[in-house]
Amino acid sequence: MRFISKSIQENEKYLKEKFNRSSDIVIRTLVLKNETILLFIYLEGLTKVQSVEENILKPLIFSGLPSGIDVIESLSEMLRREWVPLTNVKSERSLEELVQHVLKGSLVILADGETSAVIAQVQDFEKRSIQESQKESTLRGTKEAFVESIRTNTSLIRRRIIHPQLKMESSTIGTYTQTEVVLAYIQGHADESVISQVRTRLEKIDADGVIDSAYIEEWIENNPLSMFSQIQNTERPDIVTACLLEGKVAIITNGTPFVLILPFTFWEGLQSADDFFERFVFITLTRIIRYLMTFISFALPAIYVALTTFHPEMVPRQLMFSIAAARENSPFPTFFEVFLMMVVFDGLQEAGVHLPNRLGPVMSIIGALIIGQAAVEAGIISTPIIIVISLTGVAGYTIARYSATLPFRIIRYLMLFITGALGFFGFAFGIIILLIHLVTLESFGTPYFSPVAPFDGKKIKNLVIRSPLWSKNRQKKESVK
Amino acid sequence: MRRRIIFTFISFFLLILASGCENFVEPNQLAFVIGTALDHDESGVIEVSHQIVIPSQISGSEGGGSSSGSESFIVLSAKGKDIIEANRKIQRKMSRRLMENHRILIALSEELFEKHDVSQLFDKLNRDPANNLRDITIMIKGGNARDFLMQGHPMDHLSSVAAGKEMKLSRMSKFTSKQLAIDILSDGYRPLIPVFNVEEIQVSSNKKQSIGLLSGFAVMNKDLKVSGILDDVEGSEAAWMAGKRTFQGITIPWKDGKGALSFRFSRLKRQIHSVKGEDPNHIILTVKAQAYLLENTTPLDLYEVENIVEVQKYLNEQVQKELQQTVDKVQELGPDVFGIGEHLHREFPYWWKSQKDEWDDNFKETNVTVKAKIRIRSLGTSGKRFSK
């Protein structure tokens, strides 16, 4: 630890050395009345220059130091009391800390012969305004979504939960990025053991940088090797609010609109925020459809292969004839054809994500016309398989949370392989392995597959039926997620 | 350690792929048998014929199915001592594996019933786990079952599909090989098998076509020999009384001979009682149904309550009379197609033990009385006969 020296030249030398080859660092010396030497250091672009000029420089230059002060040692004291018409001002003695403050956008003022510096938080930078969520849009409910600035995000939550028990613990992670991470929870509502678990895991993170909350997610997950995400992420403040009220813990990371929520279970991944904004009878229907579609999204290609090539007697007669007729001239085995189409589908999807907006229409023409139509007409791919694969693809997107859809896209392949080899026996085998994996997972003390396993009769009803908010049967804690 | 686990896992996976992938059969390597015919052959063996679908012809890809001329099926036959032997011979003629799971129909010729022990043939159907047992068993009267299969149908292209649909339409879905197996295996039931006739009909101004038509029901005895044939009205009445719920409706002339009333029946039920629950030789067979008036050409105004009561009473009498005639006819033939024996088996188990071996003869002596309990549910939208 190096402290501020009494000689301002020495301090200036140290700082200039630290900040050499940094064009955006401004170090300015100001001599007042030929005797007091002040040193201003700030980062251009991160500091509200106008405020510095008006509130600090102008009074200093035009009226000088306030009269009635003899000892220069009390500079910081004076600053706080009279000089600087700013709210967030503090003093600091360590040079290293000073550097950190400069890097975060504060204005640092050093005076000759003074061992403490004044730090004025005049941080200000360009940021995105609050917009509607692109990824998790709902038909009803708030249009606000989180932004990159952590203080804006915490304010969005604070505005929704007006209670002193809402705590926001701050820490920094990342040797180079020094990312601010806020751990938010409602004290007395959230499980203390979960909070301390999260706290210790956050402390243990040893990374150079945290670019996004996804980095933190990967560091603190219970089972990092699993393909299922065990932490929820959202950019909707209403979801975070609801989860906090349920006693969950949120992790807000600076620089990303995605807030992490934990613990998280498999079934919560299949829910949507809309579930709580529409009438409950309708939501019950959509939930059933969503579960069905989730099953289709990973099982349908495998079921199709099993039914048509291993157990054709199980298919209704007319359907079997139609399938047989469609496949009459197919050059590849069903298994391979399905696999090929799945690869093509995933390829199209991946291309769609990376494609510049302007090339979008080109993609759809290639995808729909060439692959869809021409391949069938040429007899390379049979029509039922196109139907199966597109239905599978569409079904995958009935799941509202994007990260929850990803494991099913992998399982789709695994199920296809094992079913292609062993038929329905393999299908059953695959499902059993999947279930075994799911029940062993855990997210911060909560079994991942609960309430189905371990079984909880009261909560399991809520998986299918979204009971009305006033209902007595309702779990007190279930609400918007 | 981890590397070893991954290695084990991958090699296990490859092992599965390598060993299991041979099992699958593509749909275009299968020959779907949709109908089977069993015939007697002069040399004393049986002849098996399979009606096999040609998928590329049957699928209605635009333009309403196959164009005229190209058949949507083929019929292949072979002779053998039993079904499997004949099947093997047919398989030799085929480029694809025979699949019998999607069969709709099994047609047996009348001659086959006479000259073979048919119950032995059904052994294969029962034993083979792949058989779905939902196919309908019919008897072809006067002719070869194979010829029946070779006929097309003006609506359906496949005679098997057409026969299957016809049976479904007349609610004959109970006459499956499963039901037949149950009937054969239980002591107190004798099977009733639908009989099809091949008839030539005029389908358009310049075209005649021979198609299979449901013409009646064969009453089988214990050894699966035909005891007699009921016509289609009697047969469906017998099926109703056997609890197979197939009776469609009835038209009765009114008392004075002026006009007639037509009814449709639904919710067909039947109950068997012995008189006072103690006399196994006197049976009361009660049939129940709900009737819907479809046509009224009598002068009766059915908005009058007395008339409705009168009609209902008369309907019951008529139905009772007709059913009694059918019962008498069946009793004359001998076999108990109503399952009265099965009922007595349950009601008088000890008595039944001494009876079951001669049941076909004893049934003739049993006194069976039919009672009808039919309620008129609906009269339609007008009361009087439609007239000026």
Of the listed ranges A229-238, B142-151, B168-177, the least confidently predicted one is: B168-177
pLDDT at B126: 72
The whole-number average pLDDT for the span A94-106 is 86
Residue A479 scores a pLDDT above 60: no
Q: What confidence category does residue B173 fall into, taking pLDDT thresholds of 50, 70 and 90?
A: low
Confidence label for A156 from pLDDT (cuts 50, 70 and 90): very high
Average pLDDT over residues A222-247: 91
Rounded to an integer, the average pLDDT of A319-331 is 86
Between chains, do A333 and B30 touch, taking CB under 8 Å as contact? no
In chain A, count of helices (H) and strands (E)?
18, 12
Q: Does residue A421 sit at the B interface (CB-CB below 8 Å)?
A: yes
Q: What is the pLDDT of residue A193?
A: 93
Confidence check: pLDDT of B80 > 70 = yes
pLDDT tens by residue, A60-82:
777 665 555 444 445 555 555 55
Chain B residues whose beta carbon lies within 8 Å of the beta carbon of residue A324: 27-28, 30, 32, 55
* Closest alpha carbon within chain A to B129: A313
| CA–CA dist B85, B82 (Å, integer) | 6
Distance CA A426, CA B15 (A): 13
Q: Is the pLDDT of residue B348 over 70?
A: yes
Query: What is the rounded average pLDDT for all residues in chain B?
Result: 81
What's the confidence (pLDDT) of residue A298? 94
Cβ-defined contact of B26 to A309 (cutoff 8 Å): yes
What one-character DSSP code corresponds to residue A472? S
Q: Is the pLDDT of residue A26 over 80?
A: yes
Residue type, B276: K
Is there a contact between B25 and A322 if contact means CB atoms under 8 Å apart? no
Does the beta-carbon distance from B28 to A417 stay under 8 Å?
Answer: no
Domain ranges of chain B: 24-224, 233-388
Q: How many residues does chain B have?
A: 388
- Pick among A307, A310, A313 to test the B interface (most B CBs inside 10 A): A313
Strands A446-447 and A107-111: unpaired
Of A310, A313, A324, the CB nearest to B24: A310
Percentages helix, strand, coil for chain B (3-state, rounded to 5) are 40, 30, 30
* pLDDT tens digit sequence for A326-364: 888 888 889 999 999 999 889 888 888 888 888 878 877
Are A320 and B61 within 8 A, CB to CB?
Answer: no
User: What pTM does this model have?
Assistant: 0.83
Q: How does pLDDT run across B181-212, given as a tens digit for each residue?
A: 888 888 788 888 888 888 877 777 777 777 77
CATH architecture assignment, domain B233-388: 2-Layer Sandwich (3.30)
* pLDDT, mean of residues B237-262: 81
A-chain residues near B32 (CB < 8 A): 320-321, 324
- Distance from the Cα of B61 to chain A's closest Cα (Å) equals 9
Quick one: B354 exposed, middle or buried, by C-beta within 10 A (0-12, 13-18, 19+)?
exposed
3-class secondary-structure state, position B260 = strand
Please name which of B78, B93, B95, B94 lies closest in space to residue B37, comparing C-alpha atoms: B78
| C-alpha distances in Å from residue B223, one per residue of A157, A343, B174 | 84, 60, 21
Q: Report the side by side order of strands in the sheet with A25-32.
A: A25-32, A36-43, A107-111, A117-120, A89-92
Determine the distance in angstroms separating the CA of A421 from the nearest CA of chain B, rounded to an integer: 5
Question: What whole-number distance in Å separates Cα of residue A272 and Cα of residue A289?
Answer: 13
Sequence-ordered strand ranges (E) for A178-296: 179-186, 232-234, 249-253, 259-262
Chosen for mutation from B13, B19, B24, B136 (greatest number of chain A CBs closer than 10 Å) is B24
Contact at CB, B56 and A417, closer than 8 angstroms: no
Tell me the H-state helices in chain B.
Answer: 2-20, 55-58, 83-93, 110-115, 118-127, 145-150, 159-169, 177-185, 232-241, 305-333, 340-347, 349-355, 359-365
Distance of CA A353 to the CA centre of its chain: 18
pLDDT at B179: 83
Taking one residue from A and the other from B, the number of pairs with CB-CB distance under 8 angstroms is 79
Specify the pLDDT at position A313: 86
Q: Is the pLDDT of residue B294 over 60?
A: yes
At residue A118, does pLDDT exceed 60?
Answer: yes
User: Which residue in A180, A162, A160 sits closest to A172, CA to CA?
Assistant: A180
Q: Is the CB of B130 less than 8 angstroms away from the CB of A321? A: no
Q: Work out the pLDDT band at B280, boundaries 50, 70, 90.
A: confident
pLDDT tens for residues B212-229? 778 888 888 888 888 888
What number is the ipTM of this complex?
0.81
Instruction: Give the residue from A404, A449, A439, A425 showing the smallest Cα distance to A294.
Output: A404
Q: How many CA atoms lie within 13 A of B71 on its CB side?
A: 13
Q: What is the pLDDT of residues B68-77, one digit of tens each?
A: 445 778 889 9
Where are any strands of DSSP class E within A353-471? 442-443, 446-447
Instruction: Find which of B25, B26, B30 to mutate to test the A interface (most A CBs within 10 Å of its CB).
Output: B26
Among A224-238, A276-290, B242-256, B291-305, where is mean pLDDT lowest? B242-256
Residues from chain A contacting residue B16 (CB–CB below 8 Å): 418, 421-422, 426
Determine the pLDDT at residue A431: 95
Chain A, nearest residue to B13 by Cα: A418
**pLDDT tens-digit readout, B116-128:** 888 777 777 777 7
Q: Does B26 touch chain A (CB under 8 A)?
A: yes
Q: What's the confidence (pLDDT) of residue B2?
A: 81
The set of residues, in sequence order, having a beta carbon less than 8 Å from that of A481 and lying 6+ positions away, is A232, A239, A242, A243, A246, A268, A271, A273, A275, A276
A309 contacts B25? CB cut-off 8 A:
yes
pLDDT of A87 reads 66
- Can you give the pLDDT at residue B198? 80
Average pLDDT over residues A138-154: 90
How many Å apart are CA B331 and CA B344, to the nearest integer?
Answer: 16
Does the pLDDT at position B65 exceed 60?
no
Q: Tell me what percent of the residues of chain A surpass a pLDDT of 90.
A: 37
Model pLDDT for residues A439-463, shown as the tens digit of each residue:
999 999 899 998 888 888 888 888 8
Residue B59 exposure: Cα atoms within 13 Å on the Cβ side = 15
Q: Taking Cα atoms as reference points, which of B115, B90, B109 lies closest to residue B33? A: B90
> What confidence score (pLDDT) does residue B101 get?
85
Predicted pLDDT at B63? 38
Chain-wide mean pLDDT for chain A?
85
The residue with greater pLDDT, B66 or B335, is: B335
pLDDT tens, residue by residue, B11-45? 877 777 676 566 778 888 888 888 888 888 888 88
